[in-house]
Structure 1
Amino acid sequence: MSHGRRRAAKPTTAFSIVGTGVSYLALCLAAMAALALVIVPMLTGSQTYSVLTSSMAPKYAPGTFLVVKPVPFAELAVGDIITYQIESGSPAVITHRITSVGADQSGETVFTTKGDNNSVEDELPVREIQVKGKLFYAVPFVGFIANGLGNSDRGAIAQWGAVALMGYGVVTLVRGALAKKRNDDGASPEGPAGQGFGTDGDTIFPSFGSPAGSAFDPLDHDDPILTDCDGCDHDHSRENVSTHSHRVETRKHATVS
Protein backbone atom coordinates (compact mmCIF):
# COMPACT_ATOMS: atom_id res chain seq x y z
CA MET A 1 0.00 0.00 0.00
CA SER A 2 1.28 3.48 -0.80
CA HIS A 3 1.62 5.77 2.20
CA GLY A 4 0.83 9.50 1.85
CA ARG A 5 3.66 11.89 2.57
CA ARG A 6 4.56 15.53 2.24
CA ARG A 7 7.57 16.61 0.26
CA ALA A 8 10.25 17.68 2.70
CA ALA A 9 11.07 21.38 2.73
CA LYS A 10 14.63 22.39 2.07
CA PRO A 11 16.57 22.58 5.34
CA THR A 12 17.46 26.03 6.61
CA THR A 13 21.22 26.46 6.82
CA ALA A 14 23.26 28.92 8.84
CA PHE A 15 24.49 30.42 5.58
CA SER A 16 20.96 31.15 4.36
CA ILE A 17 20.03 32.69 7.71
CA VAL A 18 23.10 34.95 7.64
CA GLY A 19 22.41 35.87 4.02
CA THR A 20 18.83 36.81 4.81
CA GLY A 21 19.94 38.86 7.81
CA VAL A 22 22.55 40.72 5.77
CA SER A 23 20.01 41.44 3.02
CA TYR A 24 17.49 42.92 5.44
CA LEU A 25 20.20 44.90 7.22
CA ALA A 26 21.37 46.34 3.90
CA LEU A 27 17.78 47.19 3.04
CA CYS A 28 17.28 48.99 6.36
CA LEU A 29 20.52 50.92 5.95
CA ALA A 30 19.61 51.89 2.40
CA ALA A 31 16.18 53.09 3.50
CA MET A 32 17.65 55.09 6.40
CA ALA A 33 20.33 56.62 4.16
CA ALA A 34 17.77 57.63 1.54
CA LEU A 35 15.56 59.12 4.24
CA ALA A 36 18.26 61.07 6.06
CA LEU A 37 20.43 62.18 3.14
CA VAL A 38 17.91 62.80 0.39
CA ILE A 39 14.21 62.59 1.23
CA VAL A 40 14.10 64.71 4.42
CA PRO A 41 16.28 67.50 2.98
CA MET A 42 14.12 67.63 -0.14
CA LEU A 43 10.85 67.68 1.79
CA THR A 44 12.00 70.36 4.24
CA GLY A 45 13.73 72.57 1.69
CA SER A 46 17.03 72.11 3.51
CA GLN A 47 20.49 72.47 2.04
CA THR A 48 23.34 70.04 2.60
CA TYR A 49 26.96 70.81 3.37
CA SER A 50 30.05 68.91 4.47
CA VAL A 51 32.48 70.02 7.16
CA LEU A 52 35.98 70.72 5.82
CA THR A 53 37.79 72.05 8.89
CA SER A 54 38.16 71.21 12.58
CA SER A 55 36.61 74.42 13.93
CA MET A 56 33.54 72.53 15.20
CA ALA A 57 35.37 69.36 16.28
CA PRO A 58 35.03 66.93 17.89
CA LYS A 59 31.25 66.79 17.58
CA TYR A 60 31.24 68.03 13.99
CA ALA A 61 34.57 66.80 12.72
CA PRO A 62 35.76 67.03 9.10
CA GLY A 63 33.69 64.77 6.89
CA THR A 64 30.42 65.37 8.78
CA PHE A 65 27.38 65.76 6.55
CA LEU A 66 25.25 68.75 7.61
CA VAL A 67 21.59 69.31 6.82
CA VAL A 68 20.78 73.00 7.24
CA LYS A 69 17.15 74.08 7.36
CA PRO A 70 15.99 77.63 6.59
CA VAL A 71 14.38 79.32 9.60
CA PRO A 72 13.20 82.88 10.22
CA PHE A 73 16.07 85.09 11.31
CA ALA A 74 14.13 86.32 14.34
CA GLU A 75 13.87 82.76 15.69
CA LEU A 76 17.63 82.29 15.94
CA ALA A 77 19.16 82.61 19.38
CA VAL A 78 22.37 82.16 21.32
CA GLY A 79 23.54 78.56 21.19
CA ASP A 80 22.13 77.83 17.73
CA ILE A 81 24.50 76.54 15.07
CA ILE A 82 24.06 78.41 11.83
CA THR A 83 25.54 78.21 8.36
CA TYR A 84 26.27 81.59 6.84
CA GLN A 85 28.10 83.12 3.91
CA ILE A 86 31.50 84.60 4.63
CA GLU A 87 30.43 87.48 2.40
CA SER A 88 26.94 88.15 1.14
CA GLY A 89 26.49 86.51 -2.26
CA SER A 90 29.65 84.41 -1.88
CA PRO A 91 29.33 80.60 -2.24
CA ALA A 92 31.84 80.03 0.60
CA VAL A 93 30.09 79.35 3.90
CA ILE A 94 30.94 78.75 7.56
CA THR A 95 29.04 76.75 10.14
CA HIS A 96 29.57 78.13 13.64
CA ARG A 97 27.62 78.62 16.86
CA ILE A 98 25.95 81.90 17.87
CA THR A 99 27.56 83.23 21.03
CA SER A 100 25.79 86.58 21.29
CA VAL A 101 23.15 88.75 19.64
CA GLY A 102 23.73 92.46 19.12
CA ALA A 103 23.12 95.36 16.76
CA ASP A 104 25.36 97.31 14.43
CA GLN A 105 25.52 101.11 14.07
CA SER A 106 22.44 101.15 11.87
CA GLY A 107 20.42 99.18 14.42
CA GLU A 108 20.39 96.00 12.38
CA THR A 109 20.51 92.79 14.42
CA VAL A 110 23.76 90.88 14.02
CA PHE A 111 25.21 87.69 15.47
CA THR A 112 28.60 87.02 16.96
CA THR A 113 29.72 83.48 16.19
CA LYS A 114 32.47 81.12 17.21
CA GLY A 115 33.65 77.62 16.32
CA ASP A 116 33.35 75.17 19.20
CA ASN A 117 37.00 74.21 18.74
CA ASN A 118 38.25 77.77 18.30
CA SER A 119 39.68 79.84 21.13
CA VAL A 120 38.38 83.20 19.88
CA GLU A 121 35.15 84.45 18.36
CA ASP A 122 34.85 85.22 14.68
CA GLU A 123 36.11 88.67 13.75
CA LEU A 124 33.15 89.87 11.71
CA PRO A 125 29.52 89.93 12.83
CA VAL A 126 26.93 87.96 10.85
CA ARG A 127 24.03 89.84 9.24
CA GLU A 128 20.62 88.42 8.32
CA ILE A 129 21.35 88.46 4.58
CA GLN A 130 24.29 86.13 5.10
CA VAL A 131 22.47 83.39 7.01
CA LYS A 132 21.57 80.25 5.04
CA GLY A 133 19.85 78.43 7.87
CA LYS A 134 20.08 76.58 11.17
CA LEU A 135 21.64 73.16 11.60
CA PHE A 136 18.85 70.58 11.41
CA TYR A 137 20.91 67.43 11.93
CA ALA A 138 24.30 65.97 11.08
CA VAL A 139 25.51 62.60 9.81
CA PRO A 140 29.15 61.71 10.53
CA PHE A 141 31.58 60.57 7.81
CA VAL A 142 29.10 60.91 4.93
CA GLY A 143 30.60 64.30 4.13
CA PHE A 144 33.73 62.59 2.81
CA ILE A 145 31.66 61.25 -0.07
CA ALA A 146 30.26 64.72 -0.73
CA ASN A 147 33.76 66.16 -0.64
CA GLY A 148 34.82 63.68 -3.29
CA LEU A 149 32.18 65.07 -5.62
CA GLY A 150 34.00 68.40 -5.72
CA ASN A 151 32.00 71.00 -7.62
CA SER A 152 29.61 68.48 -9.13
CA ASP A 153 25.89 69.07 -9.02
CA ARG A 154 25.13 67.45 -5.69
CA GLY A 155 21.39 67.92 -6.08
CA ALA A 156 21.20 65.78 -9.21
CA ILE A 157 23.56 63.19 -7.75
CA ALA A 158 21.49 63.05 -4.58
CA GLN A 159 18.32 62.43 -6.60
CA TRP A 160 19.98 59.63 -8.57
CA GLY A 161 21.31 58.24 -5.31
CA ALA A 162 17.78 58.22 -3.89
CA VAL A 163 16.49 56.41 -6.95
CA ALA A 164 19.26 53.82 -6.65
CA LEU A 165 18.63 53.26 -2.94
CA MET A 166 14.87 52.93 -3.38
CA GLY A 167 15.37 50.66 -6.37
CA TYR A 168 17.61 48.44 -4.31
CA GLY A 169 14.96 48.33 -1.61
CA VAL A 170 12.24 47.34 -4.09
CA VAL A 171 14.42 44.61 -5.60
CA THR A 172 15.23 43.23 -2.15
CA LEU A 173 11.57 43.17 -1.14
CA VAL A 174 10.52 41.44 -4.37
CA ARG A 175 13.26 38.84 -4.02
CA GLY A 176 12.24 38.17 -0.45
CA ALA A 177 8.58 37.79 -1.43
CA LEU A 178 9.42 35.39 -4.26
CA ALA A 179 11.66 33.31 -2.01
CA LYS A 180 8.90 33.09 0.61
CA LYS A 181 6.39 32.06 -2.05
CA ARG A 182 8.72 29.31 -3.28
CA ASN A 183 9.15 28.03 0.26
CA ASP A 184 5.40 28.08 0.84
CA ASP A 185 4.74 26.25 -2.42
CA GLY A 186 7.27 23.59 -1.47
CA ALA A 187 5.80 22.95 1.96
CA SER A 188 2.05 23.61 1.66
CA PRO A 189 -0.39 20.89 0.54
CA GLU A 190 -2.19 21.29 -2.76
CA GLY A 191 -5.01 19.55 -4.52
CA PRO A 192 -8.74 19.18 -3.98
CA ALA A 193 -10.02 20.50 -0.66
CA GLY A 194 -10.13 17.81 1.98
CA GLN A 195 -7.98 15.34 -0.01
CA GLY A 196 -4.68 16.34 1.63
CA PHE A 197 -2.42 16.36 -1.41
CA GLY A 198 1.29 17.22 -1.12
CA THR A 199 3.18 18.97 -3.86
CA ASP A 200 4.09 15.65 -5.49
CA GLY A 201 0.46 14.46 -5.61
CA ASP A 202 0.83 12.00 -2.70
CA THR A 203 -1.77 12.05 0.01
CA ILE A 204 -0.92 13.37 3.45
CA PHE A 205 -4.06 12.37 5.32
CA PRO A 206 -6.06 9.98 3.12
CA SER A 207 -9.78 10.52 3.19
CA PHE A 208 -11.93 7.45 3.38
CA GLY A 209 -14.69 8.93 1.30
CA SER A 210 -14.03 9.59 -2.39
CA PRO A 211 -16.26 12.08 -4.20
CA ALA A 212 -19.20 10.53 -5.95
CA GLY A 213 -18.33 9.32 -9.43
CA SER A 214 -14.61 9.80 -8.90
CA ALA A 215 -12.05 7.17 -9.84
CA PHE A 216 -9.81 8.37 -7.02
CA ASP A 217 -9.05 5.71 -4.39
CA PRO A 218 -7.53 7.18 -1.19
CA LEU A 219 -6.33 3.69 -0.11
CA ASP A 220 -4.35 3.29 -3.33
CA HIS A 221 -5.77 -0.15 -4.21
CA ASP A 222 -4.73 -1.89 -7.40
CA ASP A 223 -8.31 -1.75 -8.66
CA PRO A 224 -9.91 1.37 -7.20
CA ILE A 225 -13.14 0.98 -9.19
CA LEU A 226 -15.09 -2.11 -8.08
CA THR A 227 -17.25 -3.65 -10.83
CA ASP A 228 -19.00 -6.96 -11.39
CA CYS A 229 -16.58 -9.49 -12.79
CA ASP A 230 -17.08 -11.50 -15.94
CA GLY A 231 -17.06 -15.28 -15.84
CA CYS A 232 -17.59 -15.65 -12.11
CA ASP A 233 -19.21 -18.81 -10.81
CA HIS A 234 -21.24 -17.22 -8.05
CA ASP A 235 -24.97 -17.69 -7.88
CA HIS A 236 -26.59 -15.11 -10.14
CA SER A 237 -29.93 -15.80 -8.55
CA ARG A 238 -28.58 -14.03 -5.49
CA GLU A 239 -26.87 -11.40 -7.55
CA ASN A 240 -27.00 -8.61 -5.03
CA VAL A 241 -25.54 -10.67 -2.20
CA SER A 242 -22.94 -12.41 -4.37
CA THR A 243 -21.85 -9.23 -6.06
CA HIS A 244 -21.42 -7.57 -2.72
CA SER A 245 -19.42 -10.55 -1.46
CA HIS A 246 -17.24 -10.55 -4.55
CA ARG A 247 -16.57 -6.82 -4.26
CA VAL A 248 -15.43 -7.24 -0.71
CA GLU A 249 -13.16 -10.11 -1.76
CA THR A 250 -11.74 -8.06 -4.64
CA ARG A 251 -10.95 -5.19 -2.29
CA LYS A 252 -9.33 -7.62 0.13
CA HIS A 253 -7.01 -9.07 -2.52
CA ALA A 254 -6.16 -5.67 -3.90
CA THR A 255 -5.20 -4.43 -0.45
CA VAL A 256 -2.84 -7.31 0.23
CA SER A 257 -1.00 -7.00 -3.08
Structure 2
Amino acid sequence: MTKNSYSWNKLNEALSIATSQANSDAHFITSSSWQSIYPKTKEQCSKMQSLLEDSKGHIEDMSDTALLQCISKLESNLKYAGTRHRTWEWLMVGGVILAICICLLCNYTNLHQQHVSMQDIEKAKIFKIVACALVGLLVLYIVTGYPMGYTIKRFEGMKGVLNTLKYWGIRIAAATFGTGVVFSVVSREYYKWEKDVNGDWVNRKNQDTSFVRFFIKIGLIVIGIILFAMISVLITLVETVQGLIFNFDWKQKKNKTLK
Protein backbone atom coordinates (compact mmCIF):
# COMPACT_ATOMS: atom_id res chain seq x y z
CA MET A 1 0.00 0.00 0.00
CA THR A 2 1.17 3.52 -0.80
CA LYS A 3 0.97 6.49 1.53
CA ASN A 4 -1.89 7.94 -0.50
CA SER A 5 -3.98 4.75 -0.71
CA TYR A 6 -6.87 6.32 1.21
CA SER A 7 -6.88 9.41 -1.01
CA TRP A 8 -6.84 7.27 -4.16
CA ASN A 9 -9.70 5.13 -2.85
CA LYS A 10 -11.86 8.15 -2.08
CA LEU A 11 -11.05 9.67 -5.45
CA ASN A 12 -12.03 6.45 -7.21
CA GLU A 13 -15.22 6.29 -5.15
CA ALA A 14 -16.10 9.79 -6.37
CA LEU A 15 -15.34 8.83 -9.96
CA SER A 16 -17.53 5.73 -9.77
CA ILE A 17 -20.56 7.98 -9.19
CA ALA A 18 -20.11 9.82 -12.48
CA THR A 19 -18.67 7.21 -14.82
CA SER A 20 -20.37 4.19 -16.30
CA GLN A 21 -17.04 2.53 -17.00
CA ALA A 22 -16.49 -0.79 -15.31
CA ASN A 23 -13.06 0.39 -14.21
CA SER A 24 -13.29 3.78 -12.52
CA ASP A 25 -9.71 3.69 -11.25
CA ALA A 26 -8.24 7.16 -11.74
CA HIS A 27 -4.90 5.59 -12.69
CA PHE A 28 -6.35 4.31 -15.96
CA ILE A 29 -8.62 7.19 -16.99
CA THR A 30 -7.39 8.83 -20.19
CA SER A 31 -7.45 12.56 -20.90
CA SER A 32 -10.40 12.21 -23.29
CA SER A 33 -12.36 10.15 -20.75
CA TRP A 34 -12.28 13.02 -18.27
CA GLN A 35 -14.61 14.90 -20.63
CA SER A 36 -17.43 12.49 -19.72
CA ILE A 37 -16.86 12.34 -15.98
CA TYR A 38 -19.42 14.81 -14.67
CA PRO A 39 -22.18 14.45 -12.09
CA LYS A 40 -25.65 14.45 -13.64
CA THR A 41 -27.68 15.58 -10.60
CA LYS A 42 -27.36 17.95 -7.65
CA GLU A 43 -27.10 14.97 -5.28
CA GLN A 44 -24.27 13.40 -7.29
CA CYS A 45 -22.47 16.73 -7.39
CA SER A 46 -22.68 17.12 -3.61
CA LYS A 47 -21.60 13.53 -2.94
CA MET A 48 -18.63 13.72 -5.30
CA GLN A 49 -17.55 17.05 -3.83
CA SER A 50 -17.61 15.54 -0.33
CA LEU A 51 -15.52 12.54 -1.41
CA LEU A 52 -13.08 14.80 -3.23
CA GLU A 53 -12.58 16.96 -0.13
CA ASP A 54 -12.03 13.78 1.90
CA SER A 55 -9.43 12.65 -0.63
CA LYS A 56 -7.62 15.99 -0.54
CA GLY A 57 -7.66 16.09 3.24
CA HIS A 58 -5.80 12.78 3.55
CA ILE A 59 -2.95 13.32 1.11
CA GLU A 60 0.27 12.22 2.82
CA ASP A 61 2.69 12.24 -0.09
CA MET A 62 2.53 15.56 -1.95
CA SER A 63 5.03 14.30 -4.52
CA ASP A 64 2.35 12.02 -5.99
CA THR A 65 1.79 14.15 -9.10
CA ALA A 66 -0.60 11.63 -10.69
CA LEU A 67 -2.97 11.94 -7.73
CA LEU A 68 -2.71 15.72 -7.67
CA GLN A 69 -3.46 15.93 -11.42
CA CYS A 70 -6.51 13.67 -11.10
CA ILE A 71 -7.81 15.72 -8.18
CA SER A 72 -7.29 18.93 -10.17
CA LYS A 73 -9.20 17.54 -13.16
CA LEU A 74 -12.09 16.35 -11.03
CA GLU A 75 -12.17 19.71 -9.22
CA SER A 76 -12.46 21.47 -12.58
CA ASN A 77 -15.31 19.17 -13.67
CA LEU A 78 -17.17 19.65 -10.40
CA LYS A 79 -16.74 23.41 -10.59
CA TYR A 80 -18.36 23.36 -14.03
CA ALA A 81 -21.14 21.05 -12.84
CA GLY A 82 -21.90 23.14 -9.78
CA THR A 83 -22.30 26.52 -11.49
CA ARG A 84 -24.82 28.01 -13.90
CA HIS A 85 -23.94 28.62 -17.54
CA ARG A 86 -25.51 30.80 -20.21
CA THR A 87 -26.87 28.61 -23.01
CA TRP A 88 -29.06 31.13 -24.84
CA GLU A 89 -27.53 32.73 -27.94
CA TRP A 90 -27.65 36.27 -29.27
CA LEU A 91 -28.11 34.87 -32.79
CA MET A 92 -31.38 33.19 -31.76
CA VAL A 93 -32.48 36.34 -29.92
CA GLY A 94 -31.85 38.36 -33.07
CA GLY A 95 -33.85 35.86 -35.14
CA VAL A 96 -36.85 36.04 -32.81
CA ILE A 97 -36.71 39.86 -32.76
CA LEU A 98 -36.69 39.72 -36.57
CA ALA A 99 -39.78 37.47 -36.47
CA ILE A 100 -41.50 39.95 -34.14
CA CYS A 101 -40.72 42.79 -36.54
CA ILE A 102 -42.13 40.77 -39.47
CA CYS A 103 -45.36 40.14 -37.54
CA LEU A 104 -45.70 43.82 -36.61
CA LEU A 105 -45.07 44.80 -40.23
CA CYS A 106 -47.80 42.40 -41.39
CA ASN A 107 -50.09 43.84 -38.72
CA TYR A 108 -49.43 47.37 -39.96
CA THR A 109 -49.88 46.55 -43.67
CA ASN A 110 -53.19 44.79 -43.03
CA LEU A 111 -54.56 47.82 -41.16
CA HIS A 112 -53.25 50.48 -43.55
CA GLN A 113 -54.53 49.40 -46.93
CA GLN A 114 -56.69 51.46 -49.23
CA HIS A 115 -59.68 49.23 -48.50
CA VAL A 116 -59.54 47.48 -45.13
CA SER A 117 -61.93 44.56 -44.79
CA MET A 118 -62.98 42.62 -41.69
CA GLN A 119 -60.73 39.81 -42.85
CA ASP A 120 -57.77 42.21 -42.92
CA ILE A 121 -58.56 43.33 -39.37
CA GLU A 122 -58.71 39.72 -38.17
CA LYS A 123 -55.37 38.99 -39.85
CA ALA A 124 -53.86 42.05 -38.18
CA LYS A 125 -55.09 40.86 -34.77
CA ILE A 126 -53.54 37.43 -35.32
CA PHE A 127 -50.17 38.94 -36.27
CA LYS A 128 -50.28 41.17 -33.18
CA ILE A 129 -51.07 38.21 -30.91
CA VAL A 130 -48.22 36.21 -32.44
CA ALA A 131 -45.84 39.16 -31.95
CA CYS A 132 -46.83 39.43 -28.28
CA ALA A 133 -46.43 35.65 -27.84
CA LEU A 134 -42.93 35.84 -29.33
CA VAL A 135 -41.99 38.59 -26.87
CA GLY A 136 -43.04 36.29 -24.02
CA LEU A 137 -41.13 33.42 -25.60
CA LEU A 138 -38.01 35.56 -25.84
CA VAL A 139 -38.19 36.48 -22.15
CA LEU A 140 -38.64 32.82 -21.13
CA TYR A 141 -35.83 31.77 -23.47
CA ILE A 142 -33.38 34.05 -21.67
CA VAL A 143 -34.69 33.27 -18.16
CA THR A 144 -34.44 29.51 -18.71
CA GLY A 145 -31.07 29.80 -20.45
CA TYR A 146 -28.92 29.53 -17.30
CA PRO A 147 -28.90 25.82 -16.38
CA MET A 148 -26.54 24.18 -13.91
CA GLY A 149 -23.56 22.38 -15.39
CA TYR A 150 -24.80 18.96 -14.26
CA THR A 151 -28.11 19.59 -16.06
CA ILE A 152 -26.27 20.44 -19.27
CA LYS A 153 -24.26 17.22 -19.04
CA ARG A 154 -27.34 15.13 -18.24
CA PHE A 155 -29.20 16.20 -21.37
CA GLU A 156 -26.42 17.08 -23.81
CA GLY A 157 -27.24 13.96 -25.86
CA MET A 158 -30.65 15.45 -26.68
CA LYS A 159 -29.03 18.47 -28.37
CA GLY A 160 -27.80 16.51 -31.39
CA VAL A 161 -30.84 16.91 -33.64
CA LEU A 162 -31.39 20.51 -32.54
CA ASN A 163 -27.77 21.45 -33.19
CA THR A 164 -27.94 19.84 -36.64
CA LEU A 165 -31.09 21.82 -37.46
CA LYS A 166 -29.46 25.00 -36.23
CA TYR A 167 -26.22 24.35 -38.13
CA TRP A 168 -27.80 23.62 -41.51
CA GLY A 169 -30.85 25.85 -41.15
CA ILE A 170 -28.84 28.98 -40.45
CA ARG A 171 -26.44 28.23 -43.28
CA ILE A 172 -29.21 27.62 -45.80
CA ALA A 173 -30.91 30.87 -44.75
CA ALA A 174 -27.60 32.75 -44.99
CA ALA A 175 -26.84 31.22 -48.42
CA THR A 176 -30.30 32.16 -49.72
CA PHE A 177 -30.04 35.72 -48.42
CA GLY A 178 -26.46 36.05 -49.67
CA THR A 179 -27.41 34.90 -53.17
CA GLY A 180 -30.09 37.59 -53.29
CA VAL A 181 -27.57 40.20 -52.20
CA VAL A 182 -25.10 39.02 -54.84
CA PHE A 183 -27.81 39.44 -57.48
CA SER A 184 -28.15 43.05 -56.31
CA VAL A 185 -24.43 43.77 -56.37
CA VAL A 186 -23.40 42.01 -59.59
CA SER A 187 -23.52 44.29 -62.60
CA ARG A 188 -26.61 44.02 -64.79
CA GLU A 189 -24.66 45.12 -67.86
CA TYR A 190 -24.04 42.70 -70.69
CA TYR A 191 -22.81 42.91 -74.27
CA LYS A 192 -24.79 41.84 -77.31
CA TRP A 193 -23.99 41.81 -81.02
CA GLU A 194 -26.45 43.99 -82.92
CA LYS A 195 -26.70 45.59 -86.33
CA ASP A 196 -26.35 49.35 -86.52
CA VAL A 197 -28.15 51.63 -88.99
CA ASN A 198 -25.55 50.86 -91.64
CA GLY A 199 -26.09 47.12 -91.30
CA ASP A 200 -22.74 46.54 -89.59
CA TRP A 201 -22.48 44.23 -86.59
CA VAL A 202 -21.40 45.99 -83.39
CA ASN A 203 -20.95 44.74 -79.81
CA ARG A 204 -23.17 47.01 -77.72
CA LYS A 205 -23.51 47.33 -73.95
CA ASN A 206 -27.02 46.67 -72.59
CA GLN A 207 -28.75 46.75 -69.19
CA ASP A 208 -30.73 43.77 -67.86
CA THR A 209 -33.95 45.40 -66.67
CA SER A 210 -36.13 42.27 -66.66
CA PHE A 211 -38.66 41.79 -63.88
CA VAL A 212 -37.54 38.16 -63.58
CA ARG A 213 -34.14 39.20 -62.26
CA PHE A 214 -35.74 41.74 -59.91
CA PHE A 215 -38.19 39.22 -58.44
CA ILE A 216 -35.52 36.54 -58.06
CA LYS A 217 -33.31 39.01 -56.21
CA ILE A 218 -36.03 40.26 -53.85
CA GLY A 219 -37.49 36.76 -53.46
CA LEU A 220 -34.21 35.22 -52.35
CA ILE A 221 -33.56 38.00 -49.82
CA VAL A 222 -37.08 37.74 -48.36
CA ILE A 223 -36.98 33.92 -48.24
CA GLY A 224 -33.59 34.05 -46.49
CA ILE A 225 -34.89 36.49 -43.86
CA ILE A 226 -38.11 34.54 -43.23
CA LEU A 227 -36.26 31.20 -43.10
CA PHE A 228 -33.79 32.55 -40.53
CA ALA A 229 -36.64 33.98 -38.42
CA MET A 230 -38.63 30.71 -38.55
CA ILE A 231 -35.64 28.54 -37.61
CA SER A 232 -34.75 30.90 -34.75
CA VAL A 233 -38.31 30.77 -33.39
CA LEU A 234 -38.44 26.96 -33.64
CA ILE A 235 -35.10 26.44 -31.90
CA THR A 236 -35.92 29.04 -29.26
CA LEU A 237 -39.29 27.40 -28.58
CA VAL A 238 -37.78 23.90 -28.19
CA GLU A 239 -34.92 25.13 -25.98
CA THR A 240 -37.33 27.14 -23.83
CA VAL A 241 -39.58 24.11 -23.27
CA GLN A 242 -36.54 22.00 -22.43
CA GLY A 243 -35.30 24.72 -20.08
CA LEU A 244 -38.63 24.90 -18.27
CA ILE A 245 -38.74 21.13 -17.85
CA PHE A 246 -35.11 20.36 -17.00
CA ASN A 247 -33.56 23.53 -15.54
CA PHE A 248 -35.91 23.85 -12.58
CA ASP A 249 -36.56 21.41 -9.73
CA TRP A 250 -40.36 21.46 -10.02
CA LYS A 251 -40.74 18.52 -7.63
CA GLN A 252 -38.94 20.37 -4.85
CA LYS A 253 -40.94 23.55 -5.55
CA LYS A 254 -44.19 21.54 -5.41
CA ASN A 255 -43.24 20.00 -2.08
CA LYS A 256 -42.45 23.43 -0.63
CA THR A 257 -45.80 24.73 -1.84
CA LEU A 258 -47.67 21.80 -0.26
CA LYS A 259 -45.91 22.40 3.06
With structure 2 as the length reference, what TM-score do the two structures score?
A: 0.30
The structure in which a higher percent of residues are strand is 1
- Structure number with bigger Rg: 1
Bigger share in helix: 2
